[in-house]
Each structure stands twice: as structure tokens, then as C-alpha cells.
């Protein structure tokens, strides 16, 4: 499921938006000011790359505050990294669950 990042031209707010199915949202509403003057700033490919980077830089020993979990892309990151450190294979079902948790939060954030 591709996730795109948008930037609002009016207030500068950036938001992630999950594109469902064949839906092509060129200008989703800004979740902050409601403007449709938004533009896509990242491809889904860049998001995938950035997750790999996040996972790499993520330190499971450091405390995480609330704002960490406000970013939906961080959902499941701790578990993934921890599993990798322990050499545990979480399987594809886990990835699926994480994706669902993330997109659920993302959609909620857009409302």
C-alpha cells in the first residue's frame, strides 16, 4: 500500500496519506487548515527507503516519548528492530499487521 507525503502550500503542514487501491489523490485536503493546495513531496519508494534507514538508526535501548508514536511510520518499528536484534523472524503476517496499524492511524490523522 503506497504512502505519499504531502505538503500544504498554504500553511506548510506535511502529512502522510495512504493511497487505497487505484485511488489517485493529487490534492488531498490539508489536515491542518483544510486547503486543497497540497502537493506530493515523496514517492512510496522514498518512504520504503526511509523505513530501512529508520530501522537502522533506531536504538531500542533509548526511551521513546509520546511524539515518537504520533508518527505513524514509527508504529511497529521497535518490535521489528528488537526482533532483528534477537534474530527472531516475525513473518510476513507481522508486517501486514504493522501496515494495517500504521494506515489506520494515518487515516485517523487525516480526519
Q: Which residues pair with 17 in a beta bridge?
A: 4
13 binds Zn ion, rule: CB under 5 A: yes
Cα angle 18, 20, 21 (rounded to 5 degrees) comes to 145
Q: Which is nearer to Zn ion, 34 or 91 (CB)?
A: 34
Q: Report, in Å, the least distance between residue 28 CB and Zn ion.
A: 11
Residue in 11, 46, 55, 88 binding Zn ion, rule: CB under 5 A: 11
**Site map (CB under 5 A) of Zn ion, residues 15-54, x = contact:** ---------------x-xx-x-------------------
Q: Which stretch binds Zn ion (CB under 5 A): 8-16, 19-27, 41-49, 54-62?
A: 8-16
User: Strands 38-42, 14-18: parallel, antiparallel or unpaired by DSSP?
Assistant: unpaired
DSSP code string of 97-109 = HHHHHHHHHHHHH
For residue 14, the SS3 value is strand
Amino acid at each position: 500500500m503506497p504512502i505519499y507525503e504531502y505538503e500544504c502550500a498554504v500553511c506548510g503542514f506535511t502529512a502522510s496519506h495512504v493511497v487505497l487501491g487505484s485511488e489517485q489523490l493529487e490534492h488531498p485536503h490539508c489536515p491542518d487548515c483544510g486547503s486543497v493546495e497540497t502537493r506530493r513531496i515523496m514517492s512510496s519508494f522514498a518512504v520504503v527507503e526511509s523505513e530501512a534507514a529508520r530501522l537502522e538508526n533506531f536504538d531500542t535501548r533509548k526511551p521513546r516519548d509520546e511524539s515518537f508514536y504520533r508518527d505513524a511510520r514509527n508504529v511497529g518499528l521497535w518490535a521489528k528492530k528488537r526482533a532483528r536484534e534477537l534474530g527472531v523472524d516475525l513473518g510476513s503476517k507481522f508486517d501486514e499487521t504493522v501496515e494495517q496499524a500504521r494506515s489506520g492511524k494515518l487515516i485517523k490523522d487525516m480526519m
